[in-house]
Amino acid sequence: MTAHMDGQYFQLPACRELLDAYPGSRQIQEQVGALEGAIPDQPGLAVSLCRSLIETTCKTILNDHGVVIEPAWNAPKLVAESLKRLRLGQTESGDEDTALKRGAEQLVRGLNQIIQGIVEIRNVHGSAAHGSDAYAPLLDAQYAEVLARATDTTVGLLFRTHFSSTGAGPRMRFRYGEHSDFDEFIDALYDPYVIFETPLLASEALFSTDFQAYRTLLVQFRQERSPDSPAVEEADGSGGAA
């Protein structure tokens, strides 16, 4: 549920994309919905949720890459560690554009300033701030909206870069269906399993029962079809995979 502002519902489009990508995450669902709903009537809560959502985004990225997250990592540290795993400056073809990378790095420096600003405002005006006086003035709702939109921009940059950084290999965690060409390859080799007249695809069965085996085979599949692999020309010349 989103809050009503000037006759329109307040929504964070990039955060909604994140929610669509992780539909099973109640954590993200609750944070996005609560942040949208906190604008404009609960500015202190909105500021606290901004920080929480950025931290959740970064932890999700790091977990997708199999990174062990240290308990002491704060929001700026989580962002910095997440950015190390993202391929800034990568074009749609997978090549690296030097000028694009320089521009992206400048965006990152601005991003770090945004994060630091959110943290500082949250520490003073957030509803979860430490030691706030009961009669301390609340943050102006306009500031809360600006922070919410800055958070949405931050989440969008991290999230989209994360999902475009697949050139280095499959993430440590992903959903079934993201690698449809590999699924089709498996399903062409093995007929569906039929249980009580319900067919189960071999690719989906493997993904669900042994994810690590699925991922290992996926890595091999990608390597064999890499432009640097001689096996690609042989497979292409034969009209299909063996």
**Is residue 144 assigned to a domain?**
yes
Q: Are 132 and 185 in contact (CB under 8 A)?
A: no
Q: Tell whether 231 and 141 lie within a shared domain.
A: no
Q: Tell whether 112 and 33 lie within a shared domain.
A: yes
d(Cα 225, Cα 229) in Å, to the nearest integer? 6
d(Cα 12, Cα 32) in Å, to the nearest integer? 8
Q: Tell whether 45 and 105 lie within a shared domain.
A: yes
Tens of pLDDT along the chain (242 residues)? Answer: 444 444 457 888 888 887 777 766 777 888 888 989 888 788 878 888 888 888 888 888 887 777 888 889 888 888 888 888 887 777 666 677 788 777 777 776 776 677 777 777 767 665 555 555 544 555 677 878 888 888 888 888 888 777 776 544 556 667 788 788 889 999 999 988 888 888 889 998 888 888 878 877 887 787 676 554 444 333 344 333 33
d(Cα 76, Cα 25) in Å, to the nearest integer? 23
Q: Tell whether 233 and 142 lie within a shared domain.
A: no
**Is residue 173 assigned to a domain?**
no
Number of domains in the chain: 2
Domain that holds residue 84: 4-164
Place of tokens 């000037």: 6
**Is residue 76 assigned to a domain?**
yes
Q: Tell whether 38 and 95 lie within a shared domain.
A: yes
Q: Tell whether 66 and 148 lie within a shared domain.
A: yes
Q: Are 170 and 219 in contact (CB under 8 A)?
A: yes
d(Cα 2, Cα 10) in Å, to the nearest integer? 6
Write down the pTM of the prediction: 0.61
Instruction: Provide the sign of the torsion angle of the four alpha carbons 220, 216, 213, 25, taken in this order.
Output: negative
**Is residue 172 assigned to a domain?**
no
User: Radius of gyration of the chain from Cα atoms?
Assistant: 22
